[in-house]
Amino acid sequence: MKEQEGVIKYQLNHTQQPINQPFPFTEINAWRTIAVRLDLIGQDPKRYDNIGFGNISQRINADSTQFIISGTQTGHIEQLCPEHYCLIVKAEPKQNHLESCGLCKPSSESLTHASVYGQSNAIQAVIHAHSPEIWKHTAALNLPHTTADIPYGTVEMATAVEQLFQSGRLAEISLFTMLGHEDGVVAFGRNMKEAAWELINYLALAIGIEQQGNNR
């Protein structure tokens, strides 16, 4: 049976209140809007049973373990407001547990974001996109990836992400695909621009592969 998109699988302790941490939303919101316009984040009746897909996050500041992430099922909104974001107060990926606050609940992929942030303090931004082009050309692009038997938003996925970093595959590439999560791609960087450019660069490479095939 096909897995439903957008389902929160981790244990969540969420406080329904406005985010009380000062945070500049302009940059994260602008890059998210670009991702929406590129169909990397969004909601489409023709995809995933019309369930919203993709999310974006950024650390509160360089030294913090806390991060801001777009809320669950906000894919249909092109330009978010601060109330559409959530603060991850505490993340324990190996315990399948998150604590959060905000006027909406965090994305179903928050556990994976937390696992990526946990690998290096240098990582300041993460984008989880849905790109059929990048995803299906994982092998041709020689991309790091988690295997097809690992579902999204689980302890197993968090562990697999940690193993990818430990393998050294992500030392040169700041992007990996999730073969057990249809079209799932994760990009990260030292800032939001770096994460976004890595994602867009591989989208261009994947489209190039497809165009070469069409021209043969």
In a domain, 160, yes or no: yes
69 is a domain residue: yes
The answer to whether 110 and 10 have CB atoms below 8 angstroms apart is: yes
Tell me the mean pLDDT in the region 38-55. Answer: 92
**Percent of all residues in the chain with a pLDDT value above 90, rounded to a whole number:** 74
What pLDDT score was predicted for residue 184?
Answer: 95
Task: Quote the mean pLDDT of the chain.
Answer: 91
Greater model confidence, 158 or 206: 206
In the prediction, which pLDDT does 8 show?
A: 62
Please give the sequence-ordered ranges of beta strands (E in DSSP) within 65-201, or none if there are none: 67-70, 85-92, 97-102, 125-130, 145-146, 175-178, 184-189
| Maximum pairwise Cα distance, the chain | 56
Q: Do the domain assignments include residue 168? A: yes
Task: Give domain status of residue 2, yes or no.
Answer: no
Give the pLDDT band (50/70/90) at residue 7: low
CATH code assigned at 114: 3.40.225.10
Pairing of the two strands 184-189 and 125-130: antiparallel
At 216, the pLDDT band (50, 70, 90 cuts) reads low
Bigger pLDDT: 174 or 216? Answer: 174
The DSSP secondary structure of 56-74, one letter per residue, reads EEEESSTT-S-EEEEBTT-
Structural domain contains residue 4: no
Q: Is residue 6 part of a domain?
A: no
The confidence score (pLDDT) of residue 66 equals 95
Q: What is the pLDDT of residue 200?
A: 98
Instruction: Say how far apart CA 140 and CA 206 lie, in whole Å.
Output: 9
Inside any domain, residue 190: yes
Question: In which domain, by residue range, is 24 found?
Answer: 11-214
Segment 61-87 shows an average pLDDT of 93
Whether 151 maps to a domain, the answer reads yes
Residue written as token pair 């990926």: 93
Instruction: Tell me: pLDDT of 81 over 50.
Output: yes
Give residue 62's pLDDT band: very low, low, confident or very high (50, 70, 90). confident
pLDDT at residue 135 greater than cutoff 90: yes
**This model's pTM is above 0.85:** yes
DSSP state of 53: B
The number of domains in the chain is 1
pLDDT above 80: residue 57: yes
